[in-house]
Amino acid sequence: MLKYIIKRLLYLIPILLCVTFLVFVILSFTPGDPARLILGSGAKSYQVEALREELGLNDHLIVQYFRYIGNAITGDFGTSYANNEPVVDLIASRLPNTLKLALLSTLLIVICAIPLGIYSAVKQNCMQDNIIRIASMVLASIPAFWFGLILVLIFSVKLGWLPSTGLESVLAYILPVITMCTAGIAIDTRVTRASMLDVMRQDYIRTAKAKGVKPVKIIRKHAIRNALIPVITSMGIGFAGSFGGSVLIETVFGINGIGRLMVTHIRSKDMPTVFACVILLASVFTIVNLLVDIAYGIIDPRIKTEIKSA
């Protein structure tokens, strides 16, 4: 298992190189001059040119890229052009907010989606199943930013029960977490239901029923574990995606998180900040995928054997 984990972590190196280089090239073609951004619109041309030379912006694109990668390996991600602050400090101040939202929304998805999906599969084609399926389709179709604004209008503006911005109190987490996890609950409920229905049609389930095993025991001991593999995949992708895709939620609720930070600094062509965020997101995706693979081995011994032999 340790050999497999180390091997997967080594894959992170080419992934980060490819992703960061692609972003580097794209940003290099976008309009705007970082030196002009730092000095302001009133700076003289010779001052801008001197700063460009100092920052190495006049060097070849490949030279700039590998210089940044070399500094990043030593832990130096540079200084933000827009804020004149170390990029590490900017990310460290915003990462906890995004991480809390991602963890809480994922936890709520697990609590709601798995039981609903199992119940819907057990009650296939009954009224309860139809209600859950229709509700999940509706919730999955609602745009997150629109749903968040509606929640703010009802519970913050109209009723005054919950804060509309920030994360200064426990109550402030309720609206953004609900907004972030609603689509995930709907999607993972359907994934759980489909996976459960597929497992319930397997021969070993029919054999257990023929032996007179109680339905509750069949579901609890035989069906659920085998049905969880696609669900874990969906939840893992959702958790990793919440880091980069949370910009809409963070914008609606005025939360300073990683998604909002990255999009804001892309507009200002703040390359050090953008690259650091890209490295963070790529690392999160890779690590979450590794954890998902390890979870496969815990759930299904057959997969665990394959991992050990890898």
pLDDT digits (tens, 9 = 90+) for 228-245: 788 888 888 888 777 766
Question: Which DSSP category does 172 fall into?
Answer: G
> pLDDT category, 306, cuts 50, 70, 90?
low
Fold of 93-309: MetI-like fold (1.10.3720)
Mean pLDDT over each residue of the chain, to the nearest integer: 80
Whether pLDDT at 103 is above 60: yes
- For the chain, domain boundaries: 32-76, 93-309
Give every CB contact of residue 127 below 8 A, 6+ residues apart in sequence: none
Per-residue pLDDT averaged across 68-73, rounded? 81
> Three-class SS of residue 143?
coil
pTM: 0.78
DSSP H helical segments within the chain, as ranges? 2-10, 12-28, 34-39, 45-55, 61-73, 87-122, 127-141, 144-151, 174-200, 203-210, 215-218, 224-245, 247-252, 258-267, 271-299, 301-309
pLDDT digits (tens, 9 = 90+) for 75-89: 778 788 777 788 888
Per-residue pLDDT averaged across 21-43, rounded? 74
Per-residue confidence (pLDDT) for residue 148, from 0 to 100: 84
Whether pLDDT at 51 is above 70: yes
Give every CB contact of residue 209 below 8 A, 6+ residues apart in sequence: 215, 218
Per-residue confidence (pLDDT) for residue 308, from 0 to 100: 55
Per-residue pLDDT averaged across 28-36, rounded? 72
Per-residue pLDDT averaged across 265-286, rounded? 80
Whether pLDDT at 309 is above 80: no
Per-residue confidence (pLDDT) for residue 273, from 0 to 100: 83
Whether pLDDT at 167 is above 80: no
Cα 186 to Cα 6, 134, 154, 241, 263, distances in angstroms: 35, 10, 22, 16, 27
Whether pLDDT at 304 is above 70: no
Per-residue pLDDT averaged across 192-215, rounded? 81
Q: Using CA atoms in the order 150, 151, 154, 155, what is the torsion angle rounded to 10 degrees?
A: -170
Per-residue confidence (pLDDT) for residue 303, from 0 to 100: 59
Per-residue pLDDT averaged across 120-125, rounded? 84
Per-residue confidence (pLDDT) for residue 274, from 0 to 100: 82
Q: How far is CA 89 from the centre of its chain?
A: 21
> pLDDT category, 300, cuts 50, 70, 90?
low
